[in-house]
C-alpha cells in the first residue's frame, strides 16, 4: 500500500441485545491487531452533543417524543457524529466501527414506527452528508431472546419497553435492508457463540478491506 491508507465505515446492526456492542468491540480489536487505525463509536451518543441527545431519547420519564420528533433527534445525533467524528476519522485513513447507523433509522423509525420510508431516507441522506457504510453486519436474533439478554444487563429504556410487535417489525426491517443490499450487508445468526461470530466478522471485514 502506498500513501495514506483508505478509511472506511463499518457498521454493526440488529435488534436489542443481539450482541452489537460486544461484536463491534471485538472487530476493533481485530482491526488494530492487523495494524490498522480503528475507531469504535456508536449511535446515538458518539459525540458530546450526541450523549445529551441519547439521554433525551432513551429516558423513560418525561414527555415521550412524537415519532417525527424522535426521528429528527436520531438524525441530529447522526449529523453531529458524521461531521465531528466519523468523517474526519475516515479522512485520515481510519476504519470506523459504528454500533448502529442509518440502517437502525430505517428499521426502527420507518419499519418499527411506520414513518414513510421515502421521507426517512431523504432526511437520513441529508444528515449523513455522503458518508455511508462500506460493510454492515446485521446480527439477526428473535426479538424475545434479544430483550432477555438486554434486560439482564440493566433496566429497560424507552425503546426496549415497546410492545413485542414493534421489535418484530424492526427485525423484519433489518432483513428487508439486507435483502435489498446483499453486497454491503452480511446477515449472521446472533444466537451463535460470541467467539465464533467474532472470528467470522473479523475475517470478512479484513478480506473485504484488503480487496476494496
Ligand atoms: N435507535 C433508533 O431507534 N434509531 C436510530 O437511528 C438509532 C438507534 C441509531 C439504543 O441503541 C436505541 O436506539 C435502540 C434503537 C434506537 N433501541 N433500544 N433500546 P443501543 O444500541 O444503545 O441499544 P441496544 O440495542 O438496546 O443495545 P444493547 O442492549 O447494548 O444490545 P447489543 O449491543 O446488541 O448487545 P450487547 O451489549 O453486546 O450484549 C447484550 C448481552 O448479551 C450481554 O450480556 C452480552 O454478554 C450478551 N451476548 C452478546 N452476544 C451474545 C451471544 N452471541 N450469545 C449469548 N450472549 C451474548
> Is the beta carbon of 154 within 6 A of some atom in ligand 1?
no
Please give the pLDDT value at position 1.
46
Q: What is the model's pLDDT at position 158?
A: 77
CA-CA distance, 109 to 143, in Å (whole number)? Answer: 17
The model's pTM is 0.96
What is the Cα 76 distance to its own chain's centre? 15
Residue 135 near residue 10 (C-beta atoms within 8 A):
yes
105 lines ligand 1 (CB under 6 A): yes
Grid coordinates given for 35: 495494524
- The pick from 11, 22, 70 for probing ligand 1's pocket by mutation, whose C-beta has the most ligand atoms within 8 angstroms, reads 22
Ligand 1 within 6 A of 157 CB? yes
The atom number, within ligand 1, closest to the CA of 99 reads 21
Q: Is the CB of 140 under 6 A from ligand 1?
A: no
CA of residue 5 to ligand 1 center, whole Å: 31
- Tell me how far the alpha carbon of residue 144 lies from the centroid of ligand 1, in angstroms: 13
Task: List the pLDDT tens digit at each of the 212 positions of the chain.
Answer: 446 679 999 999 999 999 999 999 999 999 999 999 999 999 999 999 999 999 999 887 888 899 999 999 999 999 999 999 999 999 999 999 999 999 999 999 999 999 999 999 999 999 999 999 999 999 999 999 999 998 888 888 877 788 999 999 999 999 999 999 999 999 999 999 999 999 999 999 999 999 98
- What is the per-residue pLDDT for 4? 66
Q: Which CATH architecture has domain 8-210?
A: 3-Layer(aba) Sandwich (3.40)
DSSP state, residue 92: T
Question: What distance in angstroms lies between residue 1's CA and the mean position of ligand 1's atoms?
Answer: 36
Q: Whose CA is nearest to atom 4 of ligand 1?
A: 105
For the record, the C-alpha cell of 79 comes out as 449529523
Distance from chain centroid for Cα 162 = 19
Count of residues making up the chain: 212
Kindly report the protein residue whose alpha carbon is nearest to atom 7 of ligand 1. 104
Amino acid at each position: 500500500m502506498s500513501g495514506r491508507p483508505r478509511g472506511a465505515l463499518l457498521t454493526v446492526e440488529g435488534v436489542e441485545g443481539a450482541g452489537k456492542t460486544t461484536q463491534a468491540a471485538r472487530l476493533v480489536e481485530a482491526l488494530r491487531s492487523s495494524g490498522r487505525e480503528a475507531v469504535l463509536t456508536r449511535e446515538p451518543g458518539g459525540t458530546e452533543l450526541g450523549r445529551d441527545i441519547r439521554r433525551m431519547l432513551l429516558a423513560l420519564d418525561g414527555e415521550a417524543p412524537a415519532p417525527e420528533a424522535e426521528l429528527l433527534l436520531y438524525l441530529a445525533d447522526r449529523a453531529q457524529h458524521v461531521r465531528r467524528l466519523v468523517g474526519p476519522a475516515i479522512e485520515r485513513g481510519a476504519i470506523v466501527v459504528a454500533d448502529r447507523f442509518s440502517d437502525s433509522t430505517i428499521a426502527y423509525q420507518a419499519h418499527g414506527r411506520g414513518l414513510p420510508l421515502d421521507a426517512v431516507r431523504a432526511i437520513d441522506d441529508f444528515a449523513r452528508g455522503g458518508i455511508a457504510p462500506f460493510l454492515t453486519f446485521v446480527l439477526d436474533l428473535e426479538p424475545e431472546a434479544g430483550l432477555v439478554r438486554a434486560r439482564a444487563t440493566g433496566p429497560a429504556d424507552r425503546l426496549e419497553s415497546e410492545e413485542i410487535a414493534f421489535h418484530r417489525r424492526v427485525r423484519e426491517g433489518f432483513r428487508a435492508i439486507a435483502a435489498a443490499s446483499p453486497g454491503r450487508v452480511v446477515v449472521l445468526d446472533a444466537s451463535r457463540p460470541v467467539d465464533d461470530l467474532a472470528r467470522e466478522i473479523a475475517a470478512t471485514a479484513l478480506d473485504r478491506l484488503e480487496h476494496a
